[in-house]
Chains A and B, each alone.
Chain A
Amino acid sequence: KAGVTQTPRYLIKTRGQQVTLSCSPISGHRSVSWYQQTPGQGLQFLFEYFSETQRNKGNFPGRFSGRQFSNSRSEMNVSTLELGDSALYLCASSSGRLAVGELFFGEGSRLTVL
């Protein structure tokens, strides 16, 4: 069974630009969550999608958005990039509502904002 796939793995952007990150969950998984990982703030929850609906949302500004498609693939977008958005963005999938906390993580997309 293929794992969680995130693309791109590395990217460099400049301030003010926007970026879109993609996540393909494990086949059959309907829940996708996104996390931001930085040395200073650690791992912080961004949002979770289940069956194309946002189920949970973290405390991030509106510049951070996401969506989920009918095949469970998910994208997150960050607009008007700031230096502080430099981070490793991790996507995680799980099989559904009853799979409490059993998240399977991808290797992440490392974003550098210059």
Chain B
Amino acid sequence: AQSVTQLDSQVPVFEEAPVELRCNYSSSVSVYLFWYVQYPNQGLQLLLKYLSGSTLVKSINGFEAEFNKSQTSFHLRKPSVHISDTAEYFCAVTYNQGGKLIFGQGTELSVKP
């Protein structure tokens, strides 16, 4: 069965430190990968996506993720986090099935001053 694994349920980090949130997915010939962010009491917002082309994708607020086909990974990184980055982050995959996304369990990022 298709699946997504987020290896860390909680990641505490100090402000201005680098962070990596890990995501692995089950292998497939064709896959599209996403990171969504959920702030408290809100819905999910798309952070960044990989559909094709360059394996390194970036968001407007400094996050980036790299698609690694051989390791079936799509880890999310940020070189310097802010308090405002505190949220839950979800990795998701779709196998070209329209609106059906398979989500990981989520990683709670907590940025401390």
* Residues of A bordering B, CB below 8 Å: 4, 31-33, 35, 42-45, 48, 50, 55-56, 58, 90, 92, 94, 97, 100-108
Contact = CB atoms under 8 A, between A and B. Distances in A.
Which of B90, B96, B97, B100 has the most C-beta atoms of chain A within 10 angstroms of its own C-beta?
Answer: B100
B13 interface: no
A105 B98 contact: no
A29 to B, nearest CB: 10
Nearest to B103: A43
B49 A105 contact: no
Grouping DSSP codes into helix (H, G, I), strand (E, B) and loop, the A interface class, with mixed when no group exceeds half, is strand
Given A42-B105, A100-B32, A101-B92, A90 B98 contact: no
A101 B43 contact: no
B97 A43 contact: no
Interface string B28-45: 000010101000011111
Contacts, number: 70
Contacts of A103: 44, 46, 99, 101
Contacts of B98: 31, 33, 48, 50, 55-56, 94, 97, 100
